[in-house]
Amino acid sequence: MIEKMELLDVDKLIEEFESMTKDAGNVQRETLKKILEENGCAEYLQNLGLNGKTDPESFKACVPLVTHNDLQPYIQRIVDGSSSPILTGKPITTISLSSGTTQGKPKFVPFNDELMETTLQIYRTSYAFRTREFPIENGKALQLIYSSKQSKTKGGLIAGTATTNVFRNSQFKNTMKAMQSQCCSPDEVIFGPDFHQSLYCHLLCGLIFRKEIQFISSTFSHSIVHAFRTFEQVWEELCADIREGVLTSRITFPSVRSAMAKLLKPNPELADLIQKKCLGLNNWYGLILELFPNVKYIYGIMTGSMEPYLKKLRHYARDLPLISADYGSSEGWIGANVNPNVPPELATYVVLPNIGYFEFIPLKENVEEAKPVGLTEVKVGEEYEVIITSFAGLYRYRLGDVVKITGFHNLSPELKFICRRNLMLTINIDKNTEKDLQLAVEAASKLNTEEKLEVLDFSSHVDLSTNPGHYVIFWEISGEVRDEVLEECCNCLDRSFVDAGYVSSRKINAIGPLELRVVQRGTFQKILDHYVGLGAALSQFKTPRCVGSTNNEVLQILCNNVVKSYFSTAF
């Protein structure tokens, strides 16, 4: 027990990381060898004719690039309870549900102890670098983390989101302790059956332990913004609970209530203090520092589809450092943020060469059958799609993420996350990615600042029911905004898609005027609730930035909540 409580040796962790990245090429070969040796007996690999070979050349020659769809029949057999080695040598006993917010419905991916170990390795690595720059004291963390429902599949396997599988693993807590990052909320709150109730209790625990809180974190930073937006609504109720020492009747689950009862004691002084602080704030600017005076930083994934929330996060955090967490997926981890003092907009991730075998498909234009290259062969400045070979039964798996190589840390590349590859607004020859959309929204929302409104969240859709088809952008905004301003925003959105295919199509009306649809307050919360209902967890939630017609339910939520719509007159 005592051993587990010991703090991590930061210098040793950094030294290990440095020596591994200095030898990235060899470490990759060794990692592939290990993966193939451990899993060579799996049916999937047996059928590919590797015959025991473990070198990268044979691997690439024998094993095809695959997508989740290709592996689906194998994964389904595992889910249904087949205990023969299908994708891995050792049987898979746990399944992760990827958030599915990009595709519309959750995907099943295998989870195992090896994946757990790589998760902890990446946590430890970035912690070491973070702590060197921003030391924390032995306190607590306000971790806005949530578990999804863990269920049993037809075949008896445990299924939950990847984060749930991680949080439920006994090693998670020990590692958090060793990283001085113990969650201030009891397990009953993290694993509570209703995330609205868990969120409320997380906030309450944070306030009870306010002086001890060293940092605030979540898996994806959306959860942090979501939590403090909720705080704006419920702060008086929180204060009342603290004043009386009695939990609001809104929290109904007995396990959560009894866990909270152990922490909640009447504390009128604290209630007065929080009330005073809240009333003294101007539009909640600097809220986090007021509530938690000893917080050193905010931590969570802030890149990619999380970037649009940075503005709000900065508003709450004032000058506290915002540190983006690592880069990974339910399928496996990829890279750690080892430069924590870089602002999230510039954050990059160094690939850990021993947590998987990585290949990269170059995305230069006009290359039809681009050949994947190895980890150490990527070129600075170029964009690639990431391919993972993991310890959990994925071989040459196309993750669908686009990254840009910004440099090397020793011999291991540093990646900047760009976007999901398949998230694309396209009608004919136009191609606009999630990133292009994000930039357009950013440009258009800047027009708003004088009106003091805020784009709370956004999504998009290609509407082909009109002739010609056109882009639809959905905005949820705060405040009343004049029509003229929104008309101008709509024009600005249309002009901001600078892709040559789009601009030329717009000029000849091969693509119709862009439409800005303003949706009611709370619409994106309904989308979140919809995904949580499907088994997703708030921890892994990512607002779908482009909703296809196949994702009918989400599209309906958006369309049914439109309050105003504007067509561009920019062209």
Interacting residues toward ligand AMP by CB under 6 A: 98-99, 162, 301, 303-304, 327-330, 399, 401, 417, 420, 540
Taking the least distance from each CB to ligand AMP, the nearer of 303 and 448 is 303
* Nearest-angstrom CA–CA distance, 205 and 188: 12
Taking the least distance from each CB to ligand AMP, the nearer of 198 and 221 is 221
Residue 339 Cβ, how far from ligand AMP at the closest point, in Å?
Answer: 13
Residue 349 Cβ, how far from ligand AMP at the closest point, in Å?
Answer: 6
Could you say which DSSP state residue 427 is in? Answer: S
* Nearest-angstrom CA–CA distance, 397 and 124: 25
Residue 402 Cβ, how far from ligand AMP at the closest point, in Å?
Answer: 9
- By CB atoms closer than 10 A (0-12, 13-18, 19+), residue 385 is buried
Residue 540 Cβ, how far from ligand AMP at the closest point, in Å?
Answer: 4
Residue 301 Cβ, how far from ligand AMP at the closest point, in Å?
Answer: 4
- H-state helical runs in 134-264: 162-168, 170-178, 187-190, 195-208, 222-244, 254-261
Return the SS3 of 289. helix
Residue 305 Cβ, how far from ligand AMP at the closest point, in Å?
Answer: 6
| Rg of the Cα atoms in the chain | 24
Among the listed residues 340, 311, 248, 327, the one whose alpha carbon sits nearest the alpha carbon of residue 446:
311
Taking the least distance from each CB to ligand AMP, the nearer of 186 and 332 is 332
| Distances from the Cα of 400 to the Cα of 300, 331, 336, 421, 514, angstroms | 21, 11, 19, 5, 27
The residue written with tokens 């952008």 in the block is 473
Taking the least distance from each CB to ligand AMP, the nearer of 22 and 149 is 149
Q: Are 370 and 364 in contact (CB under 8 A)?
A: yes
Among the listed residues 133, 270, 258, the one whose alpha carbon sits nearest the alpha carbon of residue 211:
270
Q: Are 39 and 87 in contact (CB under 8 A)?
A: yes
Residue 327 Cβ, how far from ligand AMP at the closest point, in Å?
Answer: 4
Residue 476 Cβ, how far from ligand AMP at the closest point, in Å?
Answer: 22
Taking the least distance from each CB to ligand AMP, the nearer of 162 and 532 is 162
Q: Provide CB contacts within 8 A for 58, sequence distance 6+.
A: 50
Taking the least distance from each CB to ligand AMP, the nearer of 105 and 173 is 105
Residue 326 Cβ, how far from ligand AMP at the closest point, in Å?
Answer: 6
Residue length, the chain?
571
Q: Token pair of 496, please? A: 């901001």
Residue 34 Cβ, how far from ligand AMP at the closest point, in Å?
Answer: 23
* Nearest-angstrom CA–CA distance, 98 and 102: 10
* Nearest-angstrom CA–CA distance, 495 and 502: 10
Taking the least distance from each CB to ligand AMP, the nearer of 328 and 513 is 328
* Nearest-angstrom CA–CA distance, 437 and 425: 8
Residue 39 Cβ, how far from ligand AMP at the closest point, in Å?
Answer: 21
Residue 501 Cβ, how far from ligand AMP at the closest point, in Å?
Answer: 24
* Nearest-angstrom CA–CA distance, 80 and 57: 34
Taking the least distance from each CB to ligand AMP, the nearer of 330 and 389 is 330
Taking the least distance from each CB to ligand AMP, the nearer of 79 and 260 is 79
Taking the least distance from each CB to ligand AMP, the nearer of 126 and 248 is 126
Handedness of CA 100, 146, 268, 253 (dihedral sign): positive
Residue nearest to ligand AMP (CB): 304
424-425 and 412-420: which strand pairing? unpaired
- By CB atoms closer than 10 A (0-12, 13-18, 19+), residue 265 is exposed
Taking the least distance from each CB to ligand AMP, the nearer of 326 and 463 is 326
Taking the least distance from each CB to ligand AMP, the nearer of 329 and 448 is 329
Taking the least distance from each CB to ligand AMP, the nearer of 103 and 198 is 103
Percent helix, strand, coil in the chain (nearest 5)?
40, 20, 35
Residue 206 Cβ, how far from ligand AMP at the closest point, in Å?
Answer: 24
CA 521 to chain centre: 23
